[in-house]
Structure 1
């Protein structure tokens, strides 16, 4: 039975009220330590919400004492980032003073997790450029690029997450809309600082960025979709709609124009060099980005070699299936390329094809939800919907991404699909994508964090979350998704091989000085993925160094722990109990996950 946070605090308070008997002295000390640590973690959570108010809205907790956050956006200026870093330094000093030996195992995990997240972020803030994700995955050296920036994030957030159900909601939306201009100008100031430090994105990324921000800017401000949608909301008055139009024309459009001008200055100085090795401190930056993304200390050479070794193993299995299906000539990559061009496995590249993809993804997620009792003892609802990405975001976005919704369930988790062309997706790859992004992947796993202390819902570690999502693909296969579908199993194995390729390509770009074209050609020919798909992928690795390496390394680590658990427990091993242990422990660094599974093994041995 799972103990809620409220029950835990009540029980620990009751323990501390008991007489100080020698036999329970140690338990009382642990309870007192847990209470003190919980208070500090709660205060840290509130600080993180203040630093990034969007999280409070996305989680559905911008109410009561946090209602003021509903009118705020993240400060993206140099001064704003400096305040965040200073606040984190103070919190880390307080957390560092906690004696872990005085804590219960669960609270020790919480404290270790938060300490790691903050220290990793502080190490990132030591570089005077880029974005640092505090307990998140989107670390980037570029303040604005094809998949980073307020010009993308804020319109999507205001359209999708900031619900307008009351007059007060409309008022707070307007406050955020006005703050959007300040976000843009703050980023533009950081772009200027980066330019002086010779931190300039590659020319091919800047070309994409300028194309996308032009879509956001548009020609006629009065025709912005965001304004039109806002004015049509039932709780928006005519005066509020007029105020939004005035803010757009008087503040936001000029801020976008200033950012566009600065990006054009960057473009004039840009080169085609794809990797961060070109920065004055590029090697050090990549070492940090790789550590942040993988929660390991693996070197680029070790990651590169691991990718090639795992790819070889996966393609051996793919080769056997391909041969049985009559595909016998050429490399595995060449045969998968041919498979990907087979009309039998393609969707029409039109709106009818897009609707078919969205419907299939929705149906596949629903089917897998019904199988979850076979994989877990402890279940969540799996509140998720499938949506198409906004058009302005599609050119620079990956094929899909997803995550959990709000804690109160009013905002569902989402699987966002890039449908700029349906050829990004094949009929034999979509089921695996549904498991990865939806259930039992990101959306499913994220709901478990809602049962943990709030701070744990705010923090995530790329290697765990993406490793879990790949493990979710594996669970789909283990639950029978491809038992009578060998081509679908090829899609699943290609997905894993895709992530092994990422280890090679990411390190190739940032440590081995691969060109973009070299990376695209190697990726497409080796894995049999389309050039269209991997071109967007390679561009993503250029702007998010290291992030792509978390997937396969995290997946491999979870499986290593599963084999270790099976060997240690023998007949006491329980498939569902192991999955529970991984997901109920929450999103943690891989080193902390080791401790979680060690406790699971010890508990099952009793």
Structure 2
């Protein structure tokens, strides 16, 4: 239920731009990445290995600083205020420049360092760095296959989110930078339009419903003052509040406040608004070229190869579409059996499909849904916060490493809120100055079943994404670039694993309906394996996918359609959750079997989280190294 990290503005420029061009493809591991390295023919002393590893780590720090210099946005998300008035260049030329830089770093690394002379963890750092280059190269090969504007990543809505939620203002210079970024947003949208038109010329367009959503959400961004005579738009209200804050604090005088206000208005009217109007006009112009019935990417030019690459990217495995489809079918059968047990436990008379209908259709039953009122929305936020707070007491029993950063539960901003859309997490800063945020779409409370509240809170908050990402950002024993690395199968696999892990905690899923919600969440991810591959490799229609979802879950109509449309616009991403979870569970079973009484759950989890995100093959190597170290004493 997480909004994938791939398409938010937290990525480095390289990741951001390549994501927009080709949905951030990750190639299958190179030999060093997928296999343990060969035994070196030369023996090195412990001091030599430590010295070489330290030298490599220092080099990685230099290269990380060079990398983020490409991206003003990444600097902001790291909590830095350098280049605070700028936005990344979003062009093919920028991608090419960064690929050339990355290629040069690989060549330098191989020339200046000895892989066999490194510690096991330093070898993983080497392999991740090389893997990320291969990732970008493979992504660039499909640069014309990516959907630039769509309803899920919704890059056009990320700019106001950046300005409102991330861009803090503490003095006059920072307000000037804020205003500069208002203008820069106009330039960025225009650059994205160039890419969108290029891909359309190649015959690649998102489904029609994506166009409709983009038009609607873009119009919301420029509705209200200063764009028309209505109430203040979200961005204009934010700009005025930030200026007023400086005035109230005595940091600026009234004349300066007036000048800043006028400058912000000018930037919005002359740069921001025209770009969004051009986006809306382009979407309205090009929507007529979309088929009435949406299709998977397999039907588009170069689509089959693109989808196969997407699967490799998102799962970091070599599993084929057919293999993933079958894994999904098998998991759906298993989980249905467990759901039947809960149905019988609560005394429901009727089959599982009837129980789905009972839960799905009785929207006014307070056992199943919150009221669709402001009070109901606040109750959802309060109950989610309480669930997260309860689980905090259990964490020290299962983890040695705990996050320092705080977590907030918030409603999604009105300009990007969608009925029935997935909840998601946005990380805080590495220094903890900005908390992590679990965002919930609450415009339609009848698509927010109570039974799912607990499991989503664990997935998005603790011990799920907030814990994993915060710990990664707070790591000091690995190169900084690893604290910012993103691999969907790892992060989403962890999120889904923690939903299951929470069953071992005291005080969780005590209500059988909440346990049914957990099973519903897991079968949801199994269904994704079936539906995603069905849509993109087996010619399924949107209708078929929605019906399969409803046949195997208590999902609402709004949720089912929102989910299926998500898979259609970000192919392959939805397969990462279940594949990643199954791998982490497999690694735990293998470690328990190998270590017996020596197995320590805290040690296992610290091993999973303590190295940051990585491809699943490298995660397996890291766990194997831990098991070997435990056995060696």
Query: What is the SS of the residue equivalent to 2:69?
Result: helix
Query: What is the SS of the residue equivalent to 1:414?
Result: strand
Decide which of 511, 515, 519 is 1:493's aligned counterpart: 519
Q: Do 1:500 and 1:552's aligned partners in 2 also have CA atoms closer than 8 Å?
A: yes
Decide which of 57, 74, 85 is 2:76's aligned counterpart: 57
- 1:193 equivalent in alignment to 2:193: no
- The aligned counterpart of 1:9 is none
Spell out, residue by residue over 1:473-502, the C-alpha distance to the aligned partner (whole angstroms, 9 max, x if none): 122211034463222111111111100001
Spell out, residue by residue over 1:533-562, the C-alpha distance to the aligned partner (whole angstroms, 9 max, x if none): 121111111111111100010000000000
- The aligned counterpart of 2:331 is 310
- 1:301 equivalent in alignment to 2:286: no
**Closer, same or farther: CA 604–337 of 1 in aligned 2, 3 Å:** farther
- 1:259 equivalent in alignment to 2:282: no
Decide which of 92, 100, 122 is 1:78's aligned counterpart: 92
484-493 or 429-438: bigger deviation: 484-493
Spell out, residue by residue over 1:89-135, the C-alpha distance to the aligned partner (whole angstroms, 9 max, x if none): 333333455542111111112221222222112201111326xxxxx
- The aligned counterpart of 2:613 is 587
475-484 or 536-545: bigger deviation: 475-484
The 5 A counterparts of 1:100-111 are 100-111=115-126
Q: Do 2:215 and 2:280's aligned partners in 1 also have CA atoms closer than 8 Å?
A: yes
Q: How far apart are residue 372 of structure 1 and its match?
A: 0.5
**Closer, same or farther: CA 95–265 of 1 in aligned 2, 3 Å:** farther
Q: How far apart are residue 507 of structure 1 and its match?
A: 0.7
- The aligned counterpart of 2:221 is 216
- 1:171 equivalent in alignment to 2:185: no
Decide which of 227, 231, 234 is 1:225's aligned counterpart: 234
Q: Do 2:182 and 2:271's aligned partners in 1 also have CA atoms closer than 8 Å?
A: no
- The aligned counterpart of 1:94 is 108
Q: How far apart are residue 221 of structure 1 and its match?
A: 3.3
**Closer, same or farther: CA 536–96 of 1 in aligned 2, 3 Å:** farther
- The aligned counterpart of 1:247 is 267
33-42 or 404-413: bigger deviation: 33-42
225-234 or 77-86: bigger deviation: 77-86
- 1:112 equivalent in alignment to 2:127: yes
- The aligned counterpart of 1:28 is 47
**Closer, same or farther: CA 397–51 of 1 in aligned 2, 3 Å:** farther
Q: Do 2:419 and 2:441's aligned partners in 1 also have CA atoms closer than 8 Å?
A: no
In 1, distance between residues paired with 2:397 and 2:558? 37
Q: Do 1:337 and 1:530's aligned partners in 2 also have CA atoms closer than 8 Å?
A: no
Q: How far apart are residue 393 of structure 1 and its match?
A: 1.4
Spell out, residue by residue over 1:232-285, the C-alpha distance to the aligned partner (whole angstroms, 9 max, x if none): 221262211211110111111111111112212220101123311122100111
Q: Do 2:405 and 2:428's aligned partners in 1 also have CA atoms closer than 8 Å?
A: no
**Closer, same or farther: CA 153–48 of 1 in aligned 2, 3 Å:** farther
Spell out, residue by residue over 1:197-232, the C-alpha distance to the aligned partner (whole angstroms, 9 max, x if none): 000111122112211111112264343221222112
Spell out, residue by residue over 1:147-188, the C-alpha distance to the aligned partner (whole angstroms, 9 max, x if none): 234421110011111111222221221222111011100001
- 1:573 equivalent in alignment to 2:588: no
Q: How many residues align?
A: 568
112-121 or 47-56: bigger deviation: 47-56
5+ residue gaps, structure 1, are 1-22, 131-140
Query: What is the SS of the residue equivalent to 1:345?
Result: coil
**Closer, same or farther: CA 333–593 of 1 in aligned 2, 3 Å:** farther
In 2, distance between residues paired with 1:482 and 1:290? 33
- The aligned counterpart of 1:3 is none
The CA RMSD over aligned residues, in Å, is 1.9
- 1:160 equivalent in alignment to 2:165: yes
Decide which of 448, 456, 462 is 1:439's aligned counterpart: 462
- The aligned counterpart of 1:280 is 301
